[in-house]
């Protein structure tokens, strides 16, 4: 007897990524991107930056602003958070903003929510940033 394979397994996964211009940076891990004629808040997937009033919160926001403000990015939605914001991967010229924040020590990998295979690499980048004492890892006792 032949084993039947469901047809849904044969359909390639569709990407619902879209492009838009960054019109706002609320903090290191939250941006506003123009989408369908209006600003859409995007929470960066899998990472967490210090809040504005925490150490390195302002620097994380500045890092994100420098990378993307006023530029066109690609947003790959992953989920929607409890506030109704899109949670996504954001890239510019093929470079992941989420990943760059971790690499440069301006974000932690958000253990509770980062569950994709690429998160393992992000943990390695986080460890490297910690070893190099980059950004928020300058004073690890505060953040450990």
Catalytic residues: 43, 51, 85
Tokens of 112: 């509770």
Strands (DSSP E) contained in the chain are 18-27, 30-35, 38-44, 47-48, 72-80, 86-92, 95-96, 108-109
Pairing of strands 72-80, 18-27: antiparallel
Q: What are the backbone angles phi and psi of residue 26, rounded to the nearest 5°? A: -75, -45
Helices (runs of H) and strands (runs of E) counted in the chain: 4, 8
């Amino acid at each position: 007897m032949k084993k039947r394979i469901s047809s849904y397994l044969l359909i390639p996964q569709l990407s619902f990524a879209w492009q838009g211009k960054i019109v706002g940076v609320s903090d290191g891990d939250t941006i506003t991107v123009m989408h369908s004629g209006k600003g859409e808040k995007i929470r960066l997937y899998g990472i967490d930056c210090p809040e504005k009033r925490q150490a390195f919160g302002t620097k994380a926001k500045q890092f994100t602003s420098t990378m993307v403000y006023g530029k066109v990015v690609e947003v790959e939605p992953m989920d929607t958070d409890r506030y109704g914001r899109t949670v996504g991967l954001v890239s510019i010229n093929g470079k992941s903003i989420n990943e760059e924040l971790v690499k440069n020590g301006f974000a932690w990998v958000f253990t509770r929510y980062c569950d994709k295979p690429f998160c393992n690499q992000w943990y390695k980048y986080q460890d490297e940033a910690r070893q190099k004492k980059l950004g928020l890892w300058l004073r690890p006792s505060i953040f450990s």
